[in-house]
Amino acid sequence: MQSTIHGSRMMINESVLDLIGNTPVVDVSNLSPNPRVRLIAKLEGQNPFGSVKDRIAKSMIEQAIADGKLKPGQRIMEPSSGNTGIALAAIAAVKGNPITILMPESVSIERRQMLEVFGAEIILTPGPEGSNGAVRRAEALSAEHPEWCFMHQYQNDANPSAHYRTTGPEIWRDVPEVTHFVAGLGTSGTLMGVGRYLKEQNADIKLIAVEPPLGERVEGLRNLDEGYIPPIFENWHGIDLLDRKRVVRPRESLEMTRRLVQECGIFAGISSGASLAGALKVASEIEEGTIVFIVCDGGWKYLSTGAYTDDLDAAEAAAEKIIYF
């Protein structure tokens, strides 16, 4: 169905869920240290619920419905202190399913508020246990409540499949000259799905993962050497897909997050700064090329952390105390 507005024709979507995906890309080559290397940011914060995780939340819920694992009115459960929980809660509200999100008590207040807006039941787990503690509690609850639908984003194939079907093709359509793809390593779903698709189109495209130093925390990311390797990474043959990894420190992430907003007008979350930092490292190492990196979400959920306006030392100290993953 279409309507006419000032002479142009605009599609009327049947559901807000139809707005997930087809996010814009923008040239931020003004940040590149090499004039022969273009930097292209894919703005995933433009998804309706605010992040790249909208894609996997929709994919996991719709696949669970198709497989008969999620029925009308059945409760969904997921451990997530971040964007996946928000996206699942929003889509569950649209579908009419109740949802329980387990999250560390140390998350930023905006995260809790967003979940409350969408009607999620929130179970807080001890902050010092981090995200792994929330996962353990969710697994225990799943055993106690087998009637609930546990999405388990770290091992759910619908996670990378969403990026293989949508994010990857969008990048290839919009930036066919891409030579390098850079993204943070969390569940590894974005890297695996996009990476597999792009390499099927052009085997010379390089796939680079951004990870924090061992023992340090960067919002939304993990270091594979910590001992936990997401099942998705193993199942999608991540060792074979990945061409290299780049380590980004928490302070670098904050600095690059500020550069995005101050020099490009892109108000992004902290993991987006990490992706940019990784892209800049790659740009300084190659002679020429086109690097696409993921801007995972907007900055609205991080305002209370002081990441954008506080003294950088204070912002770094605050970031280390708050779990975003």
Residue 77 sits in a domain whose CATH number is 3.40.50.1100
pLDDT tens digits along 212-243 = 776 544 445 444 545 568 899 999 999 999 99
Is 53 assigned a catalytic role? Answer: yes
As a whole number, mean pLDDT of residues 157-185 equals 97
Same domain, 102 and 192: no
Is 188 assigned a catalytic role? Answer: no
pLDDT-derived band of residue 285, with 50, 70 and 90 as boundaries? very high
Q: Which domain holds residue 83?
A: 53-150
Q: Is residue 117 part of a domain?
A: yes
Q: Is residue 270 part of a domain?
A: yes
pLDDT score recorded for residue 152: 93
Q: Is residue 159 part of a domain?
A: no
Q: Is residue 162 part of a domain?
A: no
Same domain, 252 and 277: yes
Same domain, 234 and 267: yes
Does position 309 have pLDDT exceeding 90, yes or no?
yes
As a whole number, mean pLDDT of residues 111-121 equals 94
pLDDT score recorded for residue 322: 56
Please state, rounded to an integer, the average pLDDT across all residues of the chain: 90
pLDDT score recorded for residue 7: 58
pLDDT-derived band of residue 4, with 50, 70 and 90 as boundaries? very low
pLDDT score recorded for residue 130: 75
pLDDT score recorded for residue 318: 77
Look at residues 150, 179, 212 and tell me which one is the last residue of a structural domain.
Answer: 150
Same domain, 177 and 301: yes
Catalytic-labelled residue, pool 42, 53, 206, 301 = 53
Same domain, 91 and 194: no
Same domain, 220 and 278: yes
As a whole number, mean pLDDT of residues 290-301 equals 95
Q: Is residue 266 part of a domain?
A: yes
Q: In the chain, how many domains are there? A: 2
Same domain, 132 and 187: no
E strands in 260-315: 289-295
pLDDT score recorded for residue 221: 47
Catalytic-labelled residue, pool 271, 275, 281, 301 = 271
pLDDT score recorded for residue 131: 76
Same domain, 191 and 299: yes
Q: Is residue 284 part of a domain?
A: yes
pLDDT score recorded for residue 323: 47
Same domain, 31 and 120: no
pLDDT score recorded for residue 10: 77
pLDDT score recorded for residue 176: 98
Same domain, 105 and 216: no
pLDDT tens digits along 164-173 = 999 999 999 9
pLDDT score recorded for residue 2: 44
Q: Is residue 311 part of a domain?
A: yes
Same domain, 249 and 274: yes
Look at residues 150, 183, 210 and tell me which one is the last residue of a structural domain.
Answer: 150
As a whole number, mean pLDDT of residues 244-268 equals 94
pLDDT score recorded for residue 208: 97
Share of the chain above pLDDT 90, in %: 74
pLDDT tens digits along 41-87 = 999 999 999 999 999 999 999 999 999 999 999 999 999 878 999 99
Q: Is residue 225 part of a domain?
A: yes
Same domain, 123 and 231: no
Look at residues 150, 182, 215 and tell me which one is the last residue of a structural domain.
Answer: 150
pLDDT score recorded for residue 325: 39
